Amino acid sequence: MTRPVSARAWWLLLVLGAGYLVYRSAFSGAGMGKAYVRATRVEFVQVDVPAELGGAPGERRWVEASSPAAVDYDLEAAPADRRIGWTRLDEAAPREHAAAVAADPAQSEIRFSLSRTLGVWTAAFFTLAIFSFLYRDNPFYKLAEAVVVGVSAAYWMVVAFWDVIVPNLLGKLWPTLIQGWVMPGLQAEAEWLYLVPLALGAMLLWRLSPRGGWISRWPMAFVIGVFCGLRLISFLHADFLSQIRNSILCLWVVDGSGQFLFWDSVRAFLVVLGVLACLVYFLFSIEHRGAVGHVARAGTWVLMITFGAAFGYTVMGRIALLAIRLEFLFDDWLWLIDPTGRRAAAGAALLWQQVQGAGLG
């Protein structure tokens, strides 16, 4: 049984694309998909806080070694426990790397980053895997979808643990332990009332048990009830009262000097008419005939224009996301475009290095 022509065409395009990527990344002088970093040394020292600045006796503070507070501080003579430093890697443009190598071939301040390059290629692979759904559902799309969902869930779980559970729960119950463990600057006293959310959280995990799943219903009901009560108030203020307040407009708009503003008055008049027409459309206790029917029909037009504008705004947001991904593929990965001029001189410098290496320069 032969494969369909469309499948053969897609496989041919896949092979040609892979061959082009191998040629451009390995043999072409233009290069692609490479990331460079600038290594910057960061030094911090622990200095005494003067009494005139409100410092208590023996109080110390970490400051950057290049700051005015540490100008007179001898960094080399400082004890090891009062100084700290690390190397910070900031993103660098390919043209900056080419210029640095051209000036000093032995320099190591701006260098190639293997980890970030692998990140660019991994992002490109998952982007193309998501785009492959335009052809049909396939294992690459399923893999990318599962990875995105799994990584997102794991990321937010870690963020919730360190930003919510540790400071707001464990830090309230055992502040001394949390201060000595991960948050030295935590200022809190033990509040045993937080044993209640701890117990509710433990009961919520009971749903994973094969028996006693009904125990998790109590904290779930509490969470849903509290959430609905809090959101009800916010929705009343944001979606109900605020809309009423913003719909009460003055139809005769003047500026600070008392001069009549024609277009502002027209806008206020149209807003009030549109709101009243929409309210008439939802007035079901009166039959929509005659004048009421015409006003209700105008309200329908206002609603359709509003929904269309909202839908268009959503579509434009999705198109912007698509444009960003395409720009990533053609700029950061393939190096086919250079809108910001990050690689304007990199290709020429690389070609000159190859010429010199071949003994032609």
| Buried-exposed string 174-191: b where 16+ CB fall within 10 A, e elsewhere | ebeebeeeebeebebeee
- Which has more confidence, 355 or 333? 333
Asked if the model's pLDDT at residue 3 lies above 80, the reply is: no
Kindly state the helix (H) or strand (E) to which residue 248 belongs, with its residue range. none
Structure tokens given for 134? 């335009």
Q: So what's the pLDDT on residue 53?
A: 52
Residue 270 lies in a domain: yes
The 10s digit of each residue's pLDDT in 27-60 is: 666 678 889 999 988 887 777 766 555 556 666 7
Q: So what's the pLDDT on residue 120?
A: 94
Asked if the model's pLDDT at residue 346 lies above 60, the reply is: no
The DSSP output letter for 255 is -
Residue 44 lies in a domain: yes
Residue 318 lies in a domain: yes
Residue 68 lies in a domain: yes
Q: What angle do CA 314, 315, 318 make, to 5 degrees?
A: 90
Residue 126, CB-side half-sphere exposure with 13 Å CA sphere: 13
Split into its structural domains, the chain has a count of 2
Q: Do residues 215 and 203 make contact, with C-beta atoms less than 8 angstroms apart?
A: yes
- Choosing from 72, 95, 112, the residue where a domain stops is 112
Overall pTM surpassing 0.75 (yes/no): no
SS3 state at 46: strand
| Bridge partners, residue 111, by sequence | 37
Look-up: residue for tokens 């005494």? 48
Percentage of the chain modeled with pLDDT above 70:
84
- Which has more confidence, 228 or 84? 228
Tell me which residue range forms the domain holding 46: 33-112
Q: Do residues 271 and 243 make contact, with C-beta atoms less than 8 angstroms apart?
A: no
- Choosing from 61, 89, 112, the residue where a domain stops is 112
Residue 95 lies in a domain: yes
The 10s digit of each residue's pLDDT in 149-208 is: 999 999 999 999 999 999 889 888 888 888 888 887 777 788 889 999 999 989 988 888
> If you average pLDDT over residues 242-250, what whole number do you get?
85
Residue 140 lies in a domain: no
Provide the pairing of β-strand 83-92 with 60-64.
unpaired
SS3 state at 251: coil
Structure tokens given for 169? 């729960």
- Choosing from 56, 88, 112, the residue where a domain stops is 112
The length of the chain is 361
336 phi and psi, to 5 degrees?
-90, -25
**Gap between the Cα atoms of 186 and 175, Å rounded:** 7
Closest by Cα among 36, 16, 18 to 124: 18
Residue 13 lies in a domain: no
Model confidence band, residue 321 (pLDDT cutoffs 50, 70, 90): very high
Asked if the model's pLDDT at residue 141 lies above 50, the reply is: yes
| Bridge partners, residue 83, by sequence | 45
Asked if the model's pLDDT at residue 361 lies above 60, the reply is: no
Q: Do residues 264 and 255 make contact, with C-beta atoms less than 8 angstroms apart?
A: no
Q: Do residues 63 and 75 make contact, with C-beta atoms less than 8 angstroms apart?
A: no
Closest by Cα among 33, 23, 31, 68 to 47: 68
**Gap between the Cα atoms of 22 and 11, Å rounded:** 17
Asked if the model's pLDDT at residue 351 lies above 50, the reply is: no
Residue 75 lies in a domain: yes
